[in-house]
Amino acid sequence: MSKIMIDIKSTIEQIDGEEQVIEMLTEGELFEKNGSIYLMYHESEVSGMEGSRTMLKIDHDVITMTRFGGTKSKIVFEVGHPMESVYHTPYGAFDMHVETESLEHSVDVDKLKGHIDIKYQMVLEQVSSSKNHLEINIK
């Protein structure tokens, strides 16, 4: 496991047009195991998920994001394959539907650098709907 710096930018556009941008710089770990690339980091107060840990598993055209701790979820990002899951928060559990619009990544474990770019739509409990853009830069 190698220690790295991760620059994360998450843009969330609600169905009513309201936009929220969350930017965070954090320390993380990057490693390769069984042909997959893993990126792990702790969430902070800025993301609203303080006390949670996030793991991204990169497998070719699929990225799986798993969160552990106060906020628990598992999202599989794969273009053309919508997914259903449950989003567990301190306020309760919510049914979640995610559709990946685009997914690009270029991560070099040996050089400890890379970029991940995911655009997706998320619906929580048929009540909240948003377009999301997640950009991660590994330095």
- Tens of pLDDT, residue by residue over 26-62, are 999 999 999 999 999 987 665 555 668 999 999 999 9
pLDDT tier at 69 (50, 70, 90 boundaries)? confident
Q: Determine the pLDDT at residue 76.
A: 97
CB hemisphere CA count around 89 (13 angstroms) = 10
State the Cα–Cα distance between residues 32 and 40, nearest whole angstrom. Answer: 12
Residue 89 is predicted with a pLDDT of 80
In terms of average pLDDT, the best of 45-49, 66-70, 114-118 is 114-118
pLDDT tens, residue by residue, 10-26: 999 998 889 999 999 99
Mean pLDDT of the chain, nearest integer: 91
- pLDDT for the residue 50: 63
Dihedral class, residue 61 (left if φ above 0, else alpha if ψ from -120 to 50, else beta): alpha
Report DSSP letters for the chain, one per residue. -EEEEEEEEEEEEETTS-EEEEEEEEEEEEEEETTEEEEEEE--GGGT-TT-EEEEEEETTEEEEEEESSSBEEEEE-TT--EEEEEEETTEEEEEEEEEEEEEEEEETTTTEEEEEEEEEEEETTTEEEEEEEEEEE-
76-93 per-position pLDDT tens digit:
999 999 999 998 887 888
pLDDT cut 90: percent of the chain above it: 75
Q: How confident is the model over 58-69, as a mean pLDDT?
A: 94
Q: Which CATH superfamily is domain 2-138 in?
A: Calycin beta-barrel core domain (2.40.128.20)
Domain ranges of the chain: 2-138
Q: Is the pLDDT of residue 2 over 80?
A: yes
Mean pLDDT of 65-70: 90
